Structure 1
Amino acid sequence: MRSLRSPYNPIQLTVGIFIWSAWFILLYGGQSVVCAHFPPDPASGPWNGLSLALVLFALLSAALLGLLTWISVRAARERSAEPWERFVAFVAAGVNGVSALSILFIATPILRLPPCV
């Protein structure tokens, strides 16, 4: 069995979904707490500190998943690996890539809508 950090370890199949779900929970949980205790001025629209923090958090999370996708794609192309290891890396690349795209898709309304209305 490979180490947990290896792109061939089957645990890599769940890392992208875990990062996406943690981002999703922190996004809406953090937004709810800030809106309940420190709501930004509604007149500022979507351009306030909370929206900036949420977009930055989304970009960092998507970048992390993009890096993991790139690592998995490189591992899937490695000819010296066993076929099952390359399969795990290939599927992990797909899961990580879809998770990164879903973060960007879900975060796009942050740019247009006020966060606490």
Structure 2
Amino acid sequence: MTFERLKPGHPAHLVLGLVIWSVWFVLLYGGLSVACELAPPGAEQGALNWLNATLLVLGVFFFVMLLAGAYMSWRHAPSAESDQPQQRFLGRVAAAVYLFAAIASLAIAVPSLVMPPCL
């Protein structure tokens, strides 16, 4: 499937936000486990270390990417006056799913601000 087929209003946008979030979730916890096994940061560094910084930067990247999906879906949904209520519903629900996934992706990255990664 190419992105050319995923124009705004495509039904795949109803689940794409949660798929992207789940990829981020697996990448975050899988990468954290591997990094803690291979090259754990020193315990004396606390939360201020290279691993937490990497996780936070990636978290912000996924947050912005999902927010862009929400904005795109909301902006390209037809207006209430149009004769396409199904497309309007699809665009609005897709925007809500992207927004929910964006908030969830940021929520799982926030602990890297205060917790040491390899306890």
What TM-score, normalized by structure 1, do the two folds share?
0.92
Query: Is the alpha carbon distance of 1:26 and 1:100 closer, same or farther for their aligned partners in structure 2, counting shifts above 3 Å?
Result: same
Deviations 1:45-69 (CA, angstroms, capped at 9, x unpaired): 0111100000000000000000010
CA apart distance, 1:107: 1.4
Structure 1 residues 15-39: Cα deviation after superposition (integer angstroms, max 9, x where no partner): 1000000000000000000000100
CA contact (8 A) 1:4 1:11 kept: no
One-letter amino acid of the structure 1 residue matched with residue 58 of structure 2: F
- CA RMSD, 1 decimal: 1.4
Kindly provide the amino acid, as one letter, of the partner of residue 47 in structure 1.
L
1:20 corresponds in structure 2 to: 21
- Tell whether 2:116 aligns with 1:114: yes
1:102 partnered with 2:104: yes
- What is the match of residue 36 of structure 1? 37
Q: Structure 1 residues 90 and 110 mapped into 2: Cα distance closer, same or farther (>3 Å)?
A: same
Following superposition, the deviation at residue 4 of structure 1 comes to 2.7
Which residue of the partner structure matches residue 61 of structure 1? 62
Q: Residue 60 of structure 1: SS of its match in structure 2?
A: helix
Partner Cα separation in structure 1 for residue 5 and residue 58 of structure 2 = 25
Displacement after TM superposition at 1:103 (Å) = 1.1
Contact 2:78–2:87 (Cα < 8 Å) also in 1 = no
- The percentage of counterpart residues that share the same residue type is 38
Decide whether aligned partners of structure 1 residues 10 and 40 sit closer, same or farther in structure 2, where only a CA change above 3 A counts. same
Q: Give the stretch that moved more between structures: 29-38 or 70-79.
A: 70-79
Identify the residue that residue 88 of structure 1 maps to in structure 2.
90
**Deviation at 1:89?**
0.6
TM-score, structure 2 as length reference: 0.91
The range that moved more, 82-91 or 23-32, is: 82-91
Structure 1 residues 81 and 33 mapped into 2: Cα distance closer, same or farther (>3 Å)?
farther
Q: Is there any run of 5+ residues in structure 1 with no aligned partner, and where?
A: none
